[in-house]
Amino acid sequence: MGTQIKGAVLKSLLKELAVRDASQLIRDSVMTEILSRISDFSEEVNHFEKKYNKKFDEFHNDYKTNDEDFKKYDDLMAWEFALQGKQYWEKKLEARKKEAF
């Protein structure tokens, strides 16, 4: 990668934080961001599961068989987006673990 840390103050801080090198710091930051996104999407999924007391697939099937409801449609779209986002970042996390980054 060729990332170089310049400046005595920054090098000192990295040492105090037990960071071996800049690439480790970047890897750790990326993993933290991935975990944060998974957490955010999980909270959104849990919100809808509690609100409707069902899992997404059950809610989706119920929605398809009932009259159109714009509020529920908005929730359905937001829920689906959150579920897809959570799954996407979980796959990225697993890929990073296998690569040992």
For residues 43 and 78, what is the distance between their CA atoms, to the nearest angstrom? 12
Report the pLDDT value the prediction gives residue 11, as an integer from 0 to 100: 79
For residues 95 and 101, what is the distance between their CA atoms, to the nearest angstrom? 9
Report the pLDDT value the prediction gives residue 21, as an integer from 0 to 100: 78
Q: Within a domain: residue 67?
A: yes
Q: Within a domain: residue 9?
A: no
Q: Which residues have a Cβ under 8 Å from the Cβ of 89 and sit 6 or more positions away?
A: 34, 37, 38, 41
Specify whether the CB–CB gap between 75 and 60 falls below 8 A: no
Question: 101 pLDDT exceeds 70?
Answer: no
Question: 3 pLDDT exceeds 70?
Answer: no
Instruction: Evaluate the CA torsion angle 95, 56, 48, 77 in order and state its sign.
Output: positive
**Token representation of residue 72:** 């529920």
Domain count, the chain: 1
Give percent of the chain above pLDDT 70: 92
Question: 40 pLDDT exceeds 70?
Answer: yes
Q: Within a domain: residue 43?
A: yes
More confident residue, 33 or 8: 33
pTM of the model: 0.78
Q: Which residue segment(s) compose the domain that 25 sits in?
A: 21-99
Question: 2 pLDDT exceeds 80?
Answer: no
Measured in whole angstroms, how far is the alpha carbon of residue 20 from the centre of its chain?
Answer: 26
pLDDT band at 6 (very low <50, low <70, confident <90, very high): low
Cβ-based burial of 59 (10 A; exposed 0-12, middle 13-18, buried ≥19):
buried
Q: Within a domain: residue 12?
A: no
Q: Within a domain: residue 14?
A: no
